[in-house]
Amino acid sequence: MTPLENKLRKIIKADGPISVSHLMRIAANDTDYGYYQSRDPFGTFGDFITSPEITQAFGEIIGLWCLTAWQNAGCPDKTILIELGPGRGTLMLDILRTVKKLLPNFMESIELHLVESSTMLRQQQRLTLKNYNVTWHDFINTIPEGPSLIIANEFFDALPIDQYLMTKNGWHKRLITLDPKRNKFSFITVPVPKKKVAKFRSEISKAETNSIFERNRLAEKYAESLAERIFYSGIAALLIDYGYVKPGFGDTLQAVKSHKYYDPLTDIGNADLTAHVDFANLESIFKETGVAVHGPVLQRNFLTTLGIEHRTMTLVKNATAEQALLLIKGCQRLIAPNGMGSLFKVMAVTPTDTSTPEGF
Ligand code: SAH
């Protein structure tokens, strides 16, 4: 058993079975052994790789997008630039370098705020962004008001979901318990009143037997806060993640370690636990708040419209042969029609009186 699994065993022994969201929260953020608290998971030698770690062109294109969104909003004097879950800080570094070079006026308007739960990754971000003034937050609500640009790449997939299973006898919630004989964790289900589940979404009534419905309460909280901020103060938010566009059912809980998929209940704390993002739900929350929603579009379409291939070829001109190959391969990977290019979706939120942002 991993040290975290021992801790979980004690929790379950004392308090009974735990929900999937409780498991995800502990697995990611336990102060001693949580996945994000105890390691830097990114890169070829880590567990997974994200777009900004694949090629600098990704962050540069997002920087360009921020710049056009700022112009669309009438170039406000002050811009609260927010990143949710900044990982190593690479994306923000690439955004800031681009903005500084292309539009110094915009750079001068920026006040930088990062939302990050991992102490270890905060330290990494501090190093990466050592030339900038940064304020960290545990949640988006503590960030000062003002025209805001909010960026989130692979943030919403890391937020904890709960799972509900439709059985022949009605809705059940999935919990995790410890099988004392085998000393292994396993899923069990307990009945939940239909009335409670029906409140989550209207589509719930269409569920067939064995359907799994996933609810992400924290993602909903973030979506509300983010939309209110854009509604009252502008400028825009950009969310990039893997997920589904239409409301649906299915088990999307996944564990990734060393670039491979694992059973979510083995080696807990040593694998990254995530779930697909429910873009339809985010969209309905945004619309309820009264902001305009753009997309989701495929990452491939978004990045190519904003010129990632052109930018890559410009970078290649000043690169060594080895760097050039990495840049080209990186760009191809991000826009691959059968890979990241279509798995990842991009959604933007703006006030309703702003013109459609670039790439949508
Ligand atoms: N955006 C980065 C990293 C994505 S990984 C990139 O593209 O490379 C997810 C990030 O979200 C990590 O920085 C992780 O520590 C952070 N995170 C996960 N859950 C969080 C939470 N509940 N609150 C704040 N940050 C969280």
CATH number, position 315: 3.40.50.12710
171 vs 54: CA distance, rounded Å? 42
Q: Is residue 335 part of a domain?
A: yes
Residues 6+ apart with CB under 8 A from 237: 148, 149, 150, 151, 152, 226, 227, 230, 348, 349, 350
Please indicate, yes or no, if residue 221 is contained in any of the structural domains. Answer: yes
Q: Ligand 1, atom 15: nearest CA belongs to which residue? A: 118
In a domain, 188, yes or no: no
- Specify if 341 maps to a domain: yes
In a domain, 23, yes or no: no
From 44, 84, 117, the mutation candidate for ligand 1 (largest count of ligand atoms within 8 A of CB) is: 117
pLDDT at position 207 is 87
The predicted model gives 37-43 an average pLDDT of 72
The closest alpha carbon to 152, from 62, 282, 224, 240, belongs to 240
d(Cα 235, Cα 66) in Å, to the nearest integer? 9
180 part of a folded domain = no
- Is residue 42 scored above 80 in pLDDT? no
**Opening angle at CA 223, ends 217 and 228, nearest 5:** 130
* Residues 260, 342, 358: CA angle, nearest 5 degrees: 130
Place of tokens 């459609």: 356
Q: How far is the CA of 127 from the centre of ligand 1 (A)?
A: 17
pLDDT in tens, 330-356: 999 999 999 999 999 999 999 999 999
Quick: pLDDT tens for 223-235: 999 999 999 999 9
117 lines ligand 1 (CB under 6 A): yes
Find the domain containing 92 and state its range.
35-160+215-350
Instruction: Quote the CA–CA distance of 195 and 168 in Å, as a whole number.
Output: 16
Q: Does any ligand 1 atom lie closer than 6 A to the CB of residue 116? A: yes
Report the separation in Å between the CA atom of 166 and the middle of ligand 1, taken as the mean of its atom positions: 31
**Count of the separate structural domains present in the chain:** 1
Does the residue 11 lie in any domain?
Answer: no
With respect to residue 28, please indicate whether it lies within any of the assigned structural domains. no
Average pLDDT of the chain?
93
Closest CA to 23 of 279, 248, 180, 253: 253
**Cβ atoms of residues 347 and 296 within 8 Å:** yes
For 173-220, the pLDDT digits (tens) are 999 999 878 888 999 999 999 888 888 888 888 889 999 999 999 999
Which of the residue ranges 17-21, 32-36, 77-81 would you say has the lowest mean pLDDT?
Answer: 32-36
> What percent of the chain stands above pLDDT 70?
98
Q: Output the pTM of the full model.
A: 0.95
